[in-house]
Amino acid sequence: MKIQYKIMLGTGLVVVAAAGVLLDTLYDGGAFREIVPHFDGRCEKVMGATGVEDITVDRDTGLAYLSSHDRRRWMRTGEAEGHIYRYRAGSMAQPLEFPNDYSGSFHPHGIGLWKNPAGHDRLFVVNHPNSDEAGSRMDSSRSQVEVFDVLEDGLRHVRTVKPDGDYSLNDVTPDGPDTFYASVDRGSSTSFGRTLETFGRLARGGIARGDASGIWRVEGDLTYPNGISVSPDGRYLMVAETTGNRVLAYRRRGEDGSLERIAEANLGTASDNIEWAEDGSFWIGAHPVALAFPAHARDAANRSPSQVIRVRFDGTGFESEEIYLNDGDPLSGSSVAAPIGNRFLLGAVFEPFFLDCEKAAP
């Protein structure tokens, strides 16, 4: 009788623990979130670029660089090459493809722009080239960073920088003409391991440091870190977790770019890419119902809500404000919000367009 009781008690505890984990996952994944669309302004669709996963803005010229890749076609055929486009906010014109001379397979993900006061600006691009082992499977693709000089008529490839392991890179932010940080969204090298990290919300991601010689990990224990960006004054590094729901601030120490975590906050949403505004705030494109995104990745008819968060950091803590929220229409699966004056560009991982949005006058 005692043995039966212990078995029943143990089984009950396992069931309760599993139910607690499931409820926590559903809650953090937005399953219980009420979506009430709102935006004080108007947005227009801009066609001509598919899968604008990341956007970065050149404040000197007002031009935005768009990272574009038709991921559904890539997963289906393995043959879809990506592109970098340029676009001027408010023009509503079809974005212009910005050619490059890179000779390998080009599947751009996160991008970052280095403004060079002494020469050509440089664009850093996380690339996931095809491989014999991974093919076009996103969950097991290779990662590397392509560095380009920005010329008047296109991008000139400078170098390819590869990591010292098979971990997955997501976004990149340069802090010099040759140095950068990159987010390691998942530390596993296999498709199964990366899937387990994503849905199990395992803290195996981190931050990598890179220069002309290679890429190496410098921080760990993060849960799917995604957007990463150095502050305009160079003092801080901001990191946004997707399945971890947090935003984190690191103080940069010394010329070697070493980091000290000084603040974190739970934003209650699955954050994606980060882009800075002129007023010193940074904007995040987010997935308020993250559990809806995998179904959208499989089929465009399944819609995934989109969200824009503006975040301010005062050196010790964060303040956040929701700027935009939709129920999956008109744009599904937002991944980046790039502010430009009174406008912002809203991109998504799979959509065949992006949104050019104008905030209402105060």
Of residues 15 and 345, more confidence is placed in 345
Which parts of 30-87 fold into alpha helices (H)? 71-77
Identify whether 174 is part of a domain: yes
Domain extent, residue 47, equals 33-359
Identify whether 17 is part of a domain: no
Q: What is the DSSP letter of 179?
A: -
pLDDT confidence of residue 196 = 85
Say how far apart CA 154 and CA 199 lie, in whole Å: 39
Residue-wise pLDDT for 202-231, tens only, equals: 989 999 999 999 999 999 999 999 999 999
Q: Beta strand pairing status for 282-287 and 307-313?
A: antiparallel
**Tokens found for residue 295:** 């179904």
Q: Is the pLDDT of residue 320 over 70?
A: yes
Tell me, what CATH number does 196's domain have? 2.120.10.30
Average pLDDT of the chain is 90
CB atoms within 10 A of CB 322: 16
Residue-wise pLDDT for 25-49, tens only, equals: 544 556 546 899 999 999 999 999 9
Of residues 19 and 312, more confidence is placed in 312
Q: What average pLDDT does range 129-149 have in this prediction?
A: 75
Closest CA to 166 of 223, 128, 125, 111: 128
Q: What number of CA atoms fall less than 13 Å from residue 216's CA on the CB side?
A: 8
Identify whether 79 is part of a domain: yes
Identify whether 21 is part of a domain: no
Q: Is the pLDDT of residue 72 over 90?
A: yes
Residue-wise pLDDT for 149-170, tens only, equals: 999 999 999 999 999 999 999 9
Identify whether 8 is part of a domain: no
Q: Is the pLDDT of residue 19 over 90?
A: no
Count structural domains, the chain: 1
